[in-house]
Amino acid sequence: MTANQLFAQYALLNDGWRRDVLLEWNPEGLLSNVSTAASPPPGVARAGWLLPGMPNLHSHAFQRAFSGLTEYRQQREDSFWSWRNLMYAFAARISPEQMEIVATWLYSEMLEAGYTSVCEFHYVHHQSDGAPYAEPTTLCRSLLNAAKNTGIGLTLLPVCYQNSGFGGLPPESKQRRFINDSEQFLSLWQQLQAPCRQQQVRLGVAPHSLRAVTPASLTRLIDGVRRMDAHAPVHIHVAEQQKEVEDCLAWSGQRPVEWLMNNQPVDERWCLIHATHMTEPEYRRAAASGAVAGLCPSTEANLGDGIFDFPLWRRHGGRWGIGSDSHVAVSAAEELLLLEYSQRLQRRQRNICADDAQPDVAASLYLGALRGGAQACGRPVAGLAVGQRADMVELDGEHVALAQLPLDNILAGHLFGSSRASALRRVWTGGRLRVDRQHTLHSAAQAAFADVRRQLLQHL
């Protein structure tokens, strides 16, 4: 086989499906040539239907370990605020070794499900009693190891978490593993630069939320990181819950996104995770800033967050991407399906996430999430184009959901008719084959994950 080349009978490029596409990449895994209407060179590897890999712009890896454990009624009206009690219990117990094992399985799952890069929003930093590790980057390195071993592209977002509520309320004891003051956090961030650079990991920053940092701390954090890297991605949870909006109004007289727009230099480097509860002026101002809306439909549905007004965001030219967040579902196709279906249920219409310029719902969803996800990652993963990484996903031409479909309906068959991830065959990152039906680490990673879950459940 010819190295660093792949010939696709059909490939989804940024301007739509193209036939007979030859892709070539350099030793660093970046595409150096994408030719259409090409002839296959002798000995070149071949693919059928090829998609660009999808970025996952929001992940809390350790939460995969308790998927399925919160689906029982704890009180008369359960919400995010009751759900997070179990999250705290797992966060209190997980060790660096267990974190790496859980993340290794999760990242293998992501690759099998069509995600080729992930933004890891990581807030568990310290030992179980809240004392720092002798090596402050210990838990971050667990995630770096998992990404390296699986081959998924990584944007590491260490989280700054200081307070339990608006107005600088002191942290709760169950948040002790998360807490860093500003000096500790900026020191941690500086120490992560070298290992991230060595591993080709993008390092960004994540103030957890407006309730978890004071205005002064947020400014100090952003300014401190900017001095070290002026282009570092900034991700923040914002306006996910109605209670958060009410608490922010009580504290500041402003809604969360309104406060951010009035008090921080929000621009294309920012990713506003969830941003579910906004007014029309907030939608307009946030979209105009160039920030990405980080939508996580499966988690937002699981937690009862509410429904993002996608048509209004699109009307204002807003950029967006998808994430699997708490990992109740790990499937790029399923997140896109749920995004479209939630809009249909709310409006009692069909084919909402499309417009006159792109009437194909599947293509509109996929390419829109790809563009916004790449921007949020801060990595060159914006599709099958020269200069972008050779992150590629092949659909399974033998899958019954795709059989006999016309080319223009193949993507819709994958997103809406294939039981989500089951229509995928092979996945490459940086030009290296990672999945052929299954990830190369699938069996070992799955068994190790199951053992870690057993260990964690014994101590709940």
Query: What residues are annotated to the active site?
Result: 274, 325
* CA 177/CA 276 separation, integer angstroms: 27
The token duo for 48 is: 């059928």
Q: Which two structure tokens, joined as six digits, stand for 449?
A: 């994950």
Report the DSSP pairing between strands 5-13 and 45-52: parallel
Q: With helix as H, strand as E and coil as C, how does the chain read?
A: CCCCEEEEEEEEECCEEEEEEEEEECCCCEEEEEECCCCCCCCCEEEEEEEECEEEEEECHHHHHHCCCCCCCCCCCCCHHHHHHHHHHHHHHCCHHHHHHHHHHHHHHHHHCCEEEEEEEECCCCCCCCCCCCCCCHHHHHHHHHHHHHCCEEEEEEEEECCCECCCECCCHHHCCCECCHHHHHHHHHHHHHHHHHCCCEECEEECECCCCCHHHHHHHHHHHHHHCCCCCEEEEECCCHHHHHHHHHHHCCCHHHHHHHHCCCCCCEEEEECCCCCHHHHHHHHHHCCEEEECHHHHHHCCCCCCCHHHHHHCCCEEEECCECCCCCCHHHHHHHHHHHHHHHHCCCCCCCCCCCCCHHHHHHHHHHHHHHHHHCCCCCCCCCCCECCEEEECCCCCCCCCCCHHHHHHHHHHHCCHHHHEEEEEECCEEEEECEECCHHHHHHHHHHHHHHHHHCC
**Tokens coding 394:** 């092949």
